[in-house]
């Protein structure tokens, strides 16, 4: 009887396996912590995750190296990270949570601002250079590859020579504020599409929209 029960327990216990890593996703929105940065162009990653939190009805909690929010969608677990390391050290927080949650690199999506795209333009890519973006540069150093998924949100380049830092750390102008709500909603859709449909379909559906 003991051996029978032991065998039955082993069979049943084999059902309770750890969650399939391929069904876990890490979405990292880049930005700087602090109220003074909240409405700046450089913080679009944080704003998109906040919009996603409203759409999916989850909240962020302070955790190691960042604020973390989690939701489930059609059997998939989505972990959203707003690093608290400041932009230039984004890679440290990203790598920590990738390793902690056993997230495959294919299920990573990094959301960032891009001055090379017109305001509000969406561009999803599977690889690329850091383009002079310090957050992406640090991520590339920690991952030791430039081949990771990134969601670039255009903030335009309406600045003079030597004024790039002031521009990206500046707040949205009146015209941008009038349009940002719709763009944020669209961006939240992009993240959900990435989780549900994969990077290729998401690129085909949303790039340059």
Annotated binding site: 37, 86, 88, 134
CA 52 to each of CA 106, 145, 154, 157, 175: distance values in angstroms, whole numbers, following the listed order: 20, 27, 18, 26, 23
Q: Inter-axis angle of helices 134-143 and 90-101, to 10 degrees?
A: 40
Strand ranges of the sheet holding 149-154, from the earlier edge strand across to the other edge? 61-63, 66-73, 76-83, 24-29, 108-114, 149-154, 122-125
Annotated binding site for tRNA: which residue ranges?
A: 37, 86, 88, 134
Q: Give the sign of the dihedral formed by CA 17, CA 62, CA 153, CA 137.
A: negative
Token pair, residue 151, equals: 């969601």
Helix (H) or strand (E) holding 48: helix 44-56
Catalytic residue among 42, 133, 142, 146: 42
Q: Is 42 a catalytic residue?
A: yes
Are 28 and 94 spatial neighbours (Cβ–Cβ below 8 Å)?
Answer: yes
- Provide, for the chain, the percentages of residues in helix, strand and coil under a 3-state DSSP scheme, each rounded to the nearest 5: 45, 20, 30
Residues belonging to the active site: 42
């Amino acid at each position: 009887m003991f051996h029978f029960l032991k065998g039955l327990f082993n069979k049943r216990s084999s059902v309770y396996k750890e969650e399939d890593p391929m069904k876990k996703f890490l979405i990292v929105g880049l930005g700087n912590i602090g109220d003074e940065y909240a409405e700046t162009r450089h913080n679009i990653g944080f704003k998109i995750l906040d919009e996603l939190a409203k759409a999916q009805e989850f909240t962020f909690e302070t955790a190691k190296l960042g604020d973390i929010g989690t939701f489930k969608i059609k059997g998939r677990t989505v972990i959203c990270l707003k690093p608290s390391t400041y932009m230039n050290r984004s890679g440290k927080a990203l790598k920590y949570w990738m390793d902690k949650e056993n997230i495959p690199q294919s299920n990573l999506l990094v959301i960032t601002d891009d001055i090379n795209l017109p305001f509000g333009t969406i561009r999803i890519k599977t690889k690329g250079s850091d383009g002079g973006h310090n957050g992406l540069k640090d991520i590339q150093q920690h991952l030791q590859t430039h081949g990771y998924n990134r969601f670039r949100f255009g903030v335009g380049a309406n600045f003079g020579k030597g004024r790039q830092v002031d521009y990206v750390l500046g707040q949205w102008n009146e015209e941008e504020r009038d349009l940002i709500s719709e763009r944020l909603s669209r961006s939240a859709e992009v993240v959900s599409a990435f989780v549900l449909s994969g990077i290729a379909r998401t690129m085909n559906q949303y790039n340059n929209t």
